[in-house]
Structure 1
């Protein structure tokens, strides 16, 4: 149990907690926050879709950017950079006064969030033994679910601005907790060998690898459809 609850697992789990917190929080606060900044009722859905698209664009680009940087510079550097960007953007979400400002901040929040899960799972997998890493990644996923639940509760307890500010403060607290974290011995060994790393073209070539990546994308697609579309827009769908 002590090996399971090591520093990498705990920090990675909290990162996934904050990641899910923000994603669910936006879905929960979408209507109230847009109404508060003066968006007419008939445009709530359209503006909400645009904001979600900007957030997803940030996550798409961030996944590629942080993945490449993680292979080149190390997993820990990604964990620092992604949580800092997320924290600044989410904290700033609590002070938005216009749709365009909201959209820009959702884009950068998505850009930061994209690095959390991948870097955390990779670091934990590299630091734990093959017989234990499954438990480590399971704990990370579990804390992600808890983060989503906490976001829903926070939206009930506080107003939308306070909820975003709380998310940003949690991110900065996690940033401080990551000081003194180190990359895995496996990554340090690969870095010492000066192996070419972080080439995004390797996702496409060879074709067998590209089709494998597409398979994983399609496996996750139904889950995101439920969480990102059906749950986010459930008030309008239910009406």
Structure 2
């Protein structure tokens, strides 16, 4: 079967899935490759942590800015156009980063990558949810999530065997190839129905005042606190205890858990007829895993892979949360809200990465206890926030704010 024989609706789904595969592959390159580019740029071992932190800071700053800009444009200009625009932007940044021989230029291109990465998933999810009927929404979102798992697994596996520049070039080329699907896909009819209406006026300030939006942001933070914490676990704790795990190995275990979570949580929500209950279960379960990790994992090292699988499983609740976001907001704010919730969540990694060492130095001087304390605080807030949201499971998306 050629692409011309695939119904446009399903070709659009495949395109959104491939775009997220490439998104996850690209965003995780600095995490799995870490020191390789920096050593080539001439940094000493003592300078690596700060140099890595700068890369992640500017990448996530780009994600935050891109979420605002592309999210607003998607609710004005259309989902499909902005989906391909975002893919094009991070394709350029990734390819150029792989060709860079100067650290500061490289950091600049990671900022550009962040701009493009910011909106791709949120816009893709909104587009797919609007063109598929309610009863198929969960399966369509599940497909995109599984493509993300494949991207995470690929980057972790390939990082062990390939030169870092080659991986950046592969990431950029894959993203460019997605552009070939442009002419076989189509725009959301739900969006087209309001495109030229006066109520299709998007104000980020109106959204920022919305209580639902604030609750959803608080609800997504646990996943990204875990992500920030993994940086310190990989950099300091594993080395301190001389454990035989590296960053790419941890990501592989996390990816396996994510794969199980994407499938399992989708069906759990369907069984419970509630995404809110699923998110609540996941946050509580992640808190339990974090407690076990902090108190016992290094006395029993074989528990670490099991905990990584479990945390990956429960952290994948973000797709249920983003679906909740789409079901909470009308067509004229849906892309901006979904993109911003995800973008702010991703960007919070930088804030947590700054907060963790400050809190550790001021209070515990022990990263495990520092992370556990922050987990209790942030997870508790998230549990309260998600339960302030009204359940709108499988709501018809043909409405406006």
Q: Same fold per TM (> 0.5)?
A: yes
Measured in 2, the distance between the counterparts of 1:232 and 1:36 equals 23
- Equivalent residue, structure 1, for 2:191: 187
Q: CA separation in 2, counterparts of 1:232 and 1:72?
A: 40
- 1:228 is displaced (CA, Å) by 4.4
Rg (Cα) greater in structure: 2
Alpha-carbon distance, 1:25 to partner: 1.7
- Structure 2, unmatched stretches of 5+, are 1-5, 240-401
Distance 1:141 1:184, change over 3 A: same
Question: Counterpart in 1 of 2:130?
Answer: 126
Aligned length, in residue pairs: 234
Structure 1 distance, partners of 2:85, 2:77, is: 11
Q: Match for 2:31 among 24, 27, 41? A: 27
User: Could you tell me which residue of structure 2 aligns to residue 162 of structure 1?
Assistant: 166
Secondary structure in 2 matching 1:6: helix
Contact 1:67–1:198 (Cα < 8 Å) also in 2: no
Is 2:149 the counterpart of 1:149? no
More relative contact order, 1 or 2 (CA 8 Å, 6+ apart): 1
- SS state at 1:190 partner: coil
* Alpha-carbon offset, residue 60 of structure 1: 0.5
Tell me the TM-score normalised to structure 1 length: 0.91
Match of 1:230 in 2: 230
| Equivalent residue number for residue 77 of structure 1 | 81
Tell me the CA shift for residue 212 of structure 1. Answer: 1.8
Q: Using a 3 Å threshold, how does the CA distance of structure 1 residues 161 and 65 change in structure 2: closer, same or farther?
A: same
Query: Which residue does 1:101 correspond to in 2?
Result: 105
Find the counterpart in structure 1 of residue 221 from structure 2: 221
> How far did residue 191 of structure 1 move?
1.0
Measured after TM superposition, the shift of residue 231 of structure 1 is 4.6
Distance 2:182 2:236 in 1: 40
Provide the C-alpha distance between the structure 1 equivalents of 2:28 and 2:233, rounded to a whole number of angstroms.
12
Comparing 65-74 and 17-26, the one that deviates more:
17-26
Q: Secondary structure at the match of 2:134?
A: coil
Over aligned residues, Cα RMSD in angstroms? Answer: 1.9
Q: CA–CA distance in 2 between the matches of 1:191 and 1:232?
A: 46
Asked whether 1:68 is paired with 2:72, we answer yes
Structure 1 gap ranges (5+): none
The answer to whether the 8 A contact 1:94-1:162 is kept is yes
Give the conservation status (yes or no) of the 8 Å contact 2:208–2:214: no
- Counterpart of 1:11 (choices 15, 30, 38) is 15
User: Using the alignment, how far apart are the partners of 1:189 and 1:232 within structure 2?
Assistant: 48
